[in-house]
Amino acid sequence: MRHIIPNSAFVIKNVIIHILAHFSVLQKWHQKTVSISVLVLATILASHVQSANILVILTFTSKSHYILLRPIGLELARRGHNVTIITAFKEIDPPPNYQEVMIDDIEVWDVLGGERPNIFTMVDKSAEEFHEKVLWGGLYGFTQVALNSTEVRDFLKKDNTFDLVISELFFQESFYVLAHKYKAPLVLVTTFGNCMKQNFLTGNPLQLGTVVFEYLDLIDLTSLWGRFRNAYFTMYEYFWWKFWYLEKQEQLVETYLAEFLTDRPPSLYDIQKNASLLMINRHFSFHKPAALLPNIVEIGGIHLSQSNSSLPKDLQEILDNAEHGVVYVNFGSNIRSSELPANKKTAFINVFKKLKQTVLWKWEEDQFEDKPANLVTRKWLPQKDILAHPNIKVFIAHGGLIGIQEAIFNGVPIVGVPIYADQFNNMVQIQQAGIGKMLEYRDINENTLENILNDIIYNDTYKNKAKEVSRRFKDRPMTPLDTAMFWIEYVLRHKDADFMKSPARDMSWFRYFMLDLYTVVITIIIVLAILVIIGIRLIKLISEYLMKTQQLCMKIKRL
């Protein structure tokens, strides 16, 4: 294993910048000095630091997922590691040590065998239906397409070696076999705030009374019904995933990967259970605090750590010139605002007409009938940079976690219209934090929208609370990206870091939950209780016998 020094030149550069920045006399030339210093130090360190070969697997073709996770591979490459990424998204100008293996770019509806539906219609699907009809079917198909992609199969035929495999944890488990193929540690990363089944696998406490299953729509988890629903669905999803969906993924391994393996791999369950590190897209400053094992690390907001981009000139002028501020509307990369039913679109238009603020809306069609004068539409908008503009007053969103984190980072209040997946749960947390309000899709009309929007815009409580949450979201020892880099390189330095994993992962659930102990204790208590009852009855019988004997003796004496 190569010797990995954490964040070497990157850390040194930051240290030098921070030191020089304190000396005002040097401010005009300290950046140049830093560049020279870094070059000299990098040369000195070259004999001590060697890069690692890292495989990154991001096969899901949702743009929002890629936006969140792309900094991991790019930053590893910038820090000198040789990165190979399996993805559907091509970078415009990647580092020379960043190699892309492209998969076929398709949508979930293609693999499900039907036309793309109006996604607003998914609002009425239960968590069970969403898993059965979208996640399990769609992601199984995605995995199959990715494994059968020409570039992926050509890549697998090559004699590659990797020191580490990083994969998104999102229903494409058959790719985890590549960690076995290359005899490398496995690091998993999520785009959502929790992974309940991973808690089962790793022995992390479930905390079903305080931690909501990631795709469950619960308003009050603390209620009896809320805790029952959370516990039920957690067990439901784990059972079907382990005994049905994983079997389908095992079949994909046999069909598409077996020919590239020199020996029989462990089960996908065991490979995932023994992952060295899980990085989750959450942070306790916003999400509810949770007990986490050392190898489960919070990296919420990882894509917000660095930003060198700027807004297009036309958008910059629109935002700068918005005298009364801007209402920003974007329902994410998968939901199209242009598919809103006519009555709900009319409600939005009529409310926007009454606003003195400029409204900036991601609208996917060229035409927009009855367009208000204060409304600006674009088919795609650079959301992260827009939300960073000081004139943004409120963000009308679908409640996706990535967009929510971008708003939290910039202290922007939110009006959320959740449609599916984790969006409802995210908006419940937004309301509880006091930085926005949820408007359920079925309740959208001119009156409800106007009342909520005016409340958010003109009530400074939401803005002030959003700024407070923003400050604590940013207040960390390291940025989320630096945190991810540290722990990834930690796994490299310590060769899988097996010592961080809980011993509970090798225990049966019966032993882990101490049911054997409780059974013994309860059995002893029951036996003792029975013995006591028997004893009492015996004493009573003996007492009655003695009493009757005494009475008989008294009668005999009288005779």
pLDDT digits (tens, 9 = 90+) for 214-263: 888 888 988 999 999 999 999 999 999 999 999 999 999 999 999 999 99
Q: What is the mean pLDDT of residues 411-423?
A: 95
Whole-Å CA distances, 278 to 25, 52, 187, 192, 420: 45, 19, 6, 12, 24
How many Å apart are CA 347 and CA 4, to the nearest integer? Answer: 57
Whole-Å CA distances, 319 to 184, 345, 366, 457, 460: 48, 24, 21, 16, 20
85 has which bridge partners?
A: 56, 100
Q: Are strands 326-330 and 358-362 parallel, antiparallel or unpaired?
A: parallel
The domains of the chain are located at 51-305+479-506, 313-474, 514-559
Q: What is the mean pLDDT of residues 100-122?
A: 78
pLDDT digits (tens, 9 = 90+) for 287-339: 989 999 999 999 999 999 655 568 999 999 999 999 999 999 999 988 899 99
Q: How many residues does the chain have?
A: 559
Which pLDDT belongs to residue 118?
81
The answer, yes or no, to whether residue 152 has pLDDT greater than 60, is yes
Whole-Å CA distances, 189 to 85, 126, 127, 417, 552: 14, 25, 22, 26, 85
Contact, 185 vs 491, CB < 8 A? yes
The answer, yes or no, to whether residue 272 has pLDDT greater than 90, is yes
Provide the mean pLDDT of the chain.
89
pLDDT digits (tens, 9 = 90+) for 35-82: 455 445 544 444 344 689 999 999 998 889 999 999 999 999 999 999
Which pLDDT belongs to residue 307?
55
Composition of the chain by helix, strand, coil, percent to 5: 55, 10, 35
Which pLDDT belongs to residue 121?
85
Please classify residue 170 by burial: count the beta carbons closer than 10 Å to its beta carbon, then call 0-12 exposed, 13-18 middle and 19+ buried.
buried
Which pLDDT belongs to residue 45?
45
Which pLDDT belongs to residue 57?
98
pLDDT digits (tens, 9 = 90+) for 418-459: 999 899 999 999 999 999 999 999 999 999 999 999 999 999
| Percent residues over pLDDT 90 in the chain | 71
Q: Do domains 51-305+479-506 and 313-474 have the same CATH topology?
A: yes
pLDDT band of 395, cuts 50, 70, 90: very high
Residue with tokens 């090798």: 506
The answer, yes or no, to whether residue 19 has pLDDT greater than 50, is no
Among 515, 424, 483, CA closest to 192: 424
Which pLDDT belongs to residue 114?
67
The answer, yes or no, to whether residue 31 has pLDDT greater than 50, is no
Which pLDDT belongs to residue 34?
45
CATH, domain 51-305+479-506, list 3.40.50.10540, 3.40.50.720, 3.40.50.2000, 3.40.605.10: 3.40.50.2000
Which pLDDT belongs to residue 24?
40
| Percent residues over pLDDT 70 in the chain | 89
The answer, yes or no, to whether residue 111 has pLDDT greater than 90, is no
Which pLDDT belongs to residue 108?
66
416 has which bridge partners?
A: 397, 438
Provide the whole-model pTM: 0.86
pLDDT band of 122, cuts 50, 70, 90: confident
pLDDT digits (tens, 9 = 90+) for 367-382: 898 899 999 999 999 9
Among 364, 367, 76, 432, CA closest to 221: 432
Architecture of domain 313-474: 3-Layer(aba) Sandwich (3.40)
**What are the φ/ψ torsions at residue 362 (nearest 5 degrees)?**
-75, 110
pLDDT digits (tens, 9 = 90+) for 484-539: 999 999 999 999 999 999 998 888 878 888 889 999 999 999 999 999 999 999 99
Which pLDDT belongs to residue 513?
80
The answer, yes or no, to whether residue 30 has pLDDT greater than 50, is no
pLDDT band of 557, cuts 50, 70, 90: confident
83 has which bridge partners?
A: 54, 98
The answer, yes or no, to whether residue 28 has pLDDT greater than 50, is no
**What are the φ/ψ torsions at residue 477 (nearest 5 degrees)?**
-60, -35
Contact, 286 vs 408, CB < 8 A? yes
